[in-house]
Amino acid sequence: MSETRKFMLKTEPADFAVLLSGIFTIAREMGVNMERTARAPIYYSAHDFTNAILNLDCEIVALAEYIPVLNGATPFAAKAVRDFFKSDVNEGDVFLVNDPYTLDAGNQMADWTIVYPIFVEGEHMFWVANKAHQQDTGGGVPGGYNPNAIDVYAEGLRIPPLRIFSKGKEIKDVFSLVMKNVRIPDTQRGDLLSMIGAAKVGERRVNGLVKQFGKDKFKDFIEDLLNYGEFMMREEIAKIPDGTYHSEITGNPGSSPVVCDITVKGSEMIVDFSQSGPMVQEYVNSPIANTHSSTFQAVMNSIGKKIQYRCGGCYRPIEIKTKPGTITHAVHPFTHGNCTNFIAKQIIEAVWAALGEAIPQAVPGGWGSINYWVFSGIDERRNEGFGSPDFLACASGAGAIWGTDGWPTNGPQICSGTLYYPEIEVAEGIYPMRWEKWEWSTDSGGPGKWRGGCGVDNVWVVESEKEPVYVAYAADPYDYNIAPAIAGGKMPPLNRKELELATGAKETSADTRSKKFYVLRKGDKAIDFTQGGCGVGDPLDRDITAVQEDVRDGLVSAKSAEKDYGVIINPATFEVDIEKTGALRQKMRA
């Protein structure tokens, strides 16, 4: 079914193309600026940030896209500042916000947003929202992931919309209050300055562009751009057969299901999470900004994957419904610290799974779940503090998609390949640990006609002589299931997270999940296996040569080739017994 839609640009065609290139060039420049000046590893290496230019309705006009799951949360931060300060916004003001429970401003408390008004010739025309994950956000533990928090206060400093610069001048007492509540203030101050610097670059460039074309033309262009995004998304939604599609992602006892019902009608779509289960004890409850942002990511990398300009207009034909008090709409004072990793992933995969009922060939298979510690302590080589998630344990495999194998070591899914893993020489330089292993794990990708990408074996040992390394469990507390397999694809093996202590004692995955905190000393070893992605399509239909190459490369064992793919391969010569393979596949299909 295809509706005929007509679309008229107000802007001259040439001006539209010129401005489109111009505004996205500006957003990217802001991004590059932030990336290159940042201090905290999570921000420069993990690319755990995003920059957006928004109109006064807080619709995204242009983005520098670093981490996809943060993009859709920028309008919430801008809206909160707008609604809190109303007309009391001046040129040169800088606002800071992180709290998910004040005006729904934040997606997660460690993701701080600098909101900055852009004035052009005295008129407030746009907002910049630069959001970046901070190295620390106060609260009960360093690094912002507090698995034992009982409420939001234990998770960190709540920052409602807060003015930190007034008309270009730093409000020192206020800024200082904030900095007194984080653990590594000099680094973090540098990061905030970097975010503000990037916003100012955006301000300067937008001013140049508006002056070049005139305000009226520019406003017309913004309207056109948003309509353009809306039109492109409607085209994609219209390709989905009308109907209601359902999915449910569940986890271990104590978890709460993420339930997604998608109703497609013509070129519009309602994504309804209100049937999801109640909020949970663990810190994965999703504030509404996180739920929205995750949903948009899911839509953009499934049906919207070919849309080039991912502006706020793309969001217009999609209505998201949630019910306060559910795991997909957390309310004060429930904990939420790790919602951008867990529950964000489940929300995204619930959307894929529901869409998968209608259009299985257009949605990806689920990704491996990340499996990391947050470590912190004193690095005695320099006598300085350190603290960071172990990004090397986040290298889960990507799910396959119809026609393409999943990429290996590409996670977390919420980053979709925008996270730079620190190289071993970088990691060993900034953390007092030595890595023993970081490589693809055999049979870690889910079998399928298109195989899931491999996950990783990640093993490190504490090197410091005296100082301990504190580790906090930050893997999925409920071991949520990966989205149901698509078109006969299979699941990857489960994550493992173990410790081998220098004393000889061993901690199993079950131990680490329940104890959550350890103080590690020299020689203590962390052993993580981070899973690969889900396969797509029946593995018995996988091309035999592809299976043979996987076995030769050690990505799939000869045993799995036989058991999962029905392919008989000599593990020494890698020769395939075609006859036996044919027979086995026939038998397995029967």
The interaxial angle of helices 288-300 and 344-358, nearest 10 deg, is 40
Site string for another protein, 289-328 (x = CB under 8 A): -----------xx--xxx---x------------------
In single-letter form, the type of residue at position 246 comes to: H
What residues contact 253, with CB distance under 8 A and at least 6 apart? none
Of 123-131, 182-190, 326-334, 560-568, the segment contacting another protein by CB under 8 A is 182-190
Shortest reach from residue 120's CB to another protein, in Å: 18
Stretch that binds another protein, among 253-261, 336-344, 510-518, 550-558 (CB under 8 A): 550-558
Return contacts of 206-214, CB within 8 angstroms, 24+ apart. 206/23, 206/26, 206/53, 206/118, 206/120, 206/125, 206/126, 207/118, 207/120, 209/19, 209/22, 209/23, 209/26, 210/120, 210/125, 211/120, 213/15, 213/19
Q: Is 354 helix (H, G, I), strand (E, B) or coil?
A: helix
Among 285, 418, 481, 495, binds another protein (CB under 8 A): 418
Give me the least distance between CB of 429 and another protein, in Å please: 6
Q: Which of 50, 55, 98, 194 binds another protein (CB under 8 A)?
A: 194
Q: Is 36 in the site for another protein (CB under 8 A)?
A: yes
**Selected range binding another protein among 81-89, 124-132, 411-419, 486-494, rule: CB under 8 A:** 411-419
Our CB check for another protein shows the closer of 85 and 213 to be 213
Asked if 171 contacts 103 with a C-beta cutoff of 8 angstroms, the reply is no
- Provide the greatest CA pair distance for the chain: 78
Size of the site for another protein (CB under 8 A): 86
Element containing residue 114 per DSSP (H, E) = strand 111-120
Cβ at position 490, least distance to another protein in Å: 18
Quote the least distance from Cβ 38 to another protein, whole Å.
7
In the bound state with another protein, the residue whose beta carbon lies nearer, of 453 and 489, is 453
Count of CB atoms within 10 A of residue 102's CB? 17
The conformation of residue 382, written as its DSSP 8-state character, comes to T
Residues 435-464 that bind another protein (CB under 8 A): 435-440, 453, 456, 459
Length of the chain: 590
Between residue 348 and residue 367, which ones bind another protein under the rule CB under 8 A?
364
First-to-last CA distance in the chain?
37
Q: Can you tell me which of 276, 341, 369, 409 binds another protein, judged by CB under 8 A?
A: 409
DSSP three-state, residue 385: strand
Of the candidates 56, 424, 519, 578, which one interacts with another protein according to CB under 8 A? 424
Give me the least distance between CB of 588 and another protein, in Å please: 27
Q: Would you list the DSSP string of 298-320? A: HHHTTTTTT-S---GGGGTTEEE
Q: Which stretch binds another protein (CB under 8 A): 34-42, 138-146, 253-261, 522-530?
A: 34-42
Q: By CB under 8 A, tell whether 401 contacts another protein.
A: yes
- Should residue 555 be labelled a site residue for another protein when binding is judged by CB under 8 A? yes
Residues 53-82 that bind another protein (CB under 8 A): 65, 68
The answer to whether 56 and 89 are in contact (CB under 8 A) is: no
Q: How far apart are CA 113 and CA 110, in angstroms?
A: 9
User: Least Å distance between CB 403 and another protein?
Assistant: 6
Q: Is 423 in the site for another protein (CB under 8 A)?
A: yes
Beta bridge partners of 507: 499
The residue range among 98-106, 430-438, 468-476, 575-583 that interacts with another protein, by the rule CB under 8 A, is 430-438
Answer yes or no whether residue 41 interacts with another protein by CB under 8 A.
Answer: yes
